[in-house]
């Protein structure tokens, strides 16, 4: 069976972007593929973080996976730091990763700038190598993520190719290996709708002071609007999966819109409109055509309560399951422990193969 892996960082609270861009799609894949979903705690320490929060956030994230419908009779769920091979493979891959590949990553540039450039941690730079390890360790075929992770996926693919060329094939065979490729080349799975859920409040602010970026994006026909993010300072900019009904209704009521009458998809001048209609489309389970027909003559005043109700109705059962799961902590411990065992089995084979191909002396 083809294999699918993905993960979310246990930082801040999981929001509608994480859910619509990633987790919801994982659930759809678990029937068809062998799936492994992890909580990437090692990635969460690349920026300054609260040691008192990490453990709880890690468990809460795992509980939310299950609440969203990840089914442990089909998928393995585990904590990244419980499977040591992630870190081991990362070191091995680091030696084949040109620094230049990492320095040009958009997320590194943005996040390191916020950390004051030179003060950013080394791990922020090498973050994509750890992410490549997460994926390549399991010989993954597909990686369901939101659009913001596409560049990291491309790096993982390039790195896999590079290591296959450097150490695979005949050279590996001479060292006693099976020859051929060491890593499978993974494909990103980015959903058609929901891959880029936008901030509810930010509008164009994120890029307004950087003429150069704005220009470049404009020429690529990309609408410069901030995506919904855990790290945005205002909680009003995102809908968290565990927000109360009132909070959700309030955030949607106050969210940024425009002053045009009637609602429409795909108008580049109306990014907020496209975003909110897309969210409505997914949470209501309707088709794009149905939403278009239903909303084409609506005012924002009519649409906003409709959207709020649809989001609340979609999230209510998830919130209920979350309460049940977190009420029973031993259950989660068991899930994570079994998940880590399964993952370790697969991961050890890959690390063994790569170490053999790289010429390490085996322990006898
Ligand atoms: P993270 O924790 O930032 O986000 C988790 C997932 O949510 C998606 N996402 C969004 N999708 C649509 N709209 C948004 N506004 C939005 N915001 C976030 C992300 O694309 C992601 O799929 N580096 C990764 C975690 C990671 C990983 C991996 C993923 C580590 N190793 C291996 C896949 C495979 C990250 O920080 O995601």
pLDDT of residue 121: 95
ipTM value > 0.90: yes
DSSP state of 192: S
Cβ distance 30 to 70 under 8 Å?
yes
Read off the pLDDT of residues 145-158 as tens digits, 9 standing for 90 and up. 999 999 999 999 99
Who contacts 329 (Cβ-Cβ below 8 Å, separation ≥6)?
59
Q: Say yes or no to pLDDT of 60 above 90.
A: yes
| 111 in active site | yes
Q: How far is the CA of 320 from the centre of ligand 1 (A)?
A: 24
Is the Cα torsion angle 15, 17, 21, 24 positive or negative in sign?
positive
Q: How far is the CA of 108 from the centre of ligand 1 (A)?
A: 14
Read off the pLDDT of residues 77-86 as tens digits, 9 standing for 90 and up. 999 999 999 9
Who contacts 281 (Cβ-Cβ below 8 Å, separation ≥6)?
193, 287, 288, 291
> From the alpha carbon of 148, which atom of ligand 1 is closest?
20
More confident residue, 223 or 178: 178
> From the alpha carbon of 131, which atom of ligand 1 is closest?
31
Q: Say yes or no to pLDDT of 210 above 60.
A: no
pLDDT-based confidence at residue 143 (cuts at 50, 70, 90): very high
Strand order in the sheet with 34-39: 75-79, 34-39, 3-8, 142-144, 187-189
In this prediction, residues 217-246 reach a mean pLDDT of 80
| 206 in active site | yes
As a whole-number percent, the residues of the chain with pLDDT over 90 amount to 88
pLDDT of residue 207: 39
In this prediction, residues 296-323 reach a mean pLDDT of 97
pLDDT of residue 224: 55
In this prediction, residues 254-282 reach a mean pLDDT of 93
Q: Residue whose CA is closest, atom 16 of ligand 1?
A: 17
Angle at 247 between CA 246 and CA 249, to 5 degrees: 65
The SS3 of residue 261 is coil
Could you say which of 2, 171, 184, 230 is catalytic? 230
In this prediction, residues 44-69 reach a mean pLDDT of 96
Q: Say yes or no to pLDDT of 306 above 70.
A: yes
pLDDT of residue 77: 98
The SS3 of residue 240 is strand
Q: How far is the CA of 61 from the centre of ligand 1 (A)?
A: 13
DSSP state of 66: H
């Amino acid at each position: 069976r083809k294999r699918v892996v993905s993960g979310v960082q246990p930082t801040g609270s999981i929001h509608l972007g994480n859910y619509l861009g990633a987790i919801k799609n994982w659930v759809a894949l678990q029937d068809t593929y062998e799936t492994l979903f992890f909580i990437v705690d090692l990635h969460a320490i690349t920026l300054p973080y609260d040691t008192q929060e990490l453990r709880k956030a890690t468990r809460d994230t795992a509980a939310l996976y299950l609440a969203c419908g990840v089914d442990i009779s089909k998928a393995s769920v585990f904590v990244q730091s419980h499977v040591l091979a992630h870190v081991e493979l990362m070191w091995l891959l680091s030696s084949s990763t040109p620094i230049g590949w990492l320095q040009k990553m958009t997320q590194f540039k943005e996040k390191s700038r916020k950390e004051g450039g030179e003060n950013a941690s080394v791990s922020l730079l090498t973050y994509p190598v750890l992410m490549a390890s997460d994926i390549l360790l399991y010989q993954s075929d597909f990686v369901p993520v939101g659009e913001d992770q596409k560049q990291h996926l491309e790096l993982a693919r390039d790195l896999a190719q590079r290591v296959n060329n450097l150490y695979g094939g005949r050279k590996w065979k001479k060292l006693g290996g099976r020859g051929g490729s060491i890593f499978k080349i993974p494909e990103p799975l980015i959903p058609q709708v929901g891959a880029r859920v936008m901030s509810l409040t930010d509008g164009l602010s994120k890029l307004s002071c950087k003429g150069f970026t704005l220009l470049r994006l404009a020429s690529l026909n990309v609408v410069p609007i901030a995506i919904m993010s855990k790290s945005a300072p205002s909680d009003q900019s995102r809908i968290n999966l565990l927000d109360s009904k009132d909070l959700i209704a309030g955030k949607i009521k106050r969210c940024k819109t425009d002053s045009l009458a009637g609602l429409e998809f795909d108008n580049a001048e109306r990014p907020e409109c496209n975003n909110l209609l897309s969210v409505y489309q997914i949470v209501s389970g309707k088709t794009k055509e149905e939403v278009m027909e239903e909303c084409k003559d609506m005012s924002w005043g009519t649409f906003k309560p409709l959207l709020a109700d649809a989001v609340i109705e979609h999230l209510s059962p998830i919130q209920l399951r979350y309460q049940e799961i977190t009420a029973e902590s031993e259950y989660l411990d068991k899930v994570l422990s079994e998940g880590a065992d399964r993952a370790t089995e697969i991961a050890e084979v890959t690390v063994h193969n790569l170490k053999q191909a790289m010429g390490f002396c085996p322990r006898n």
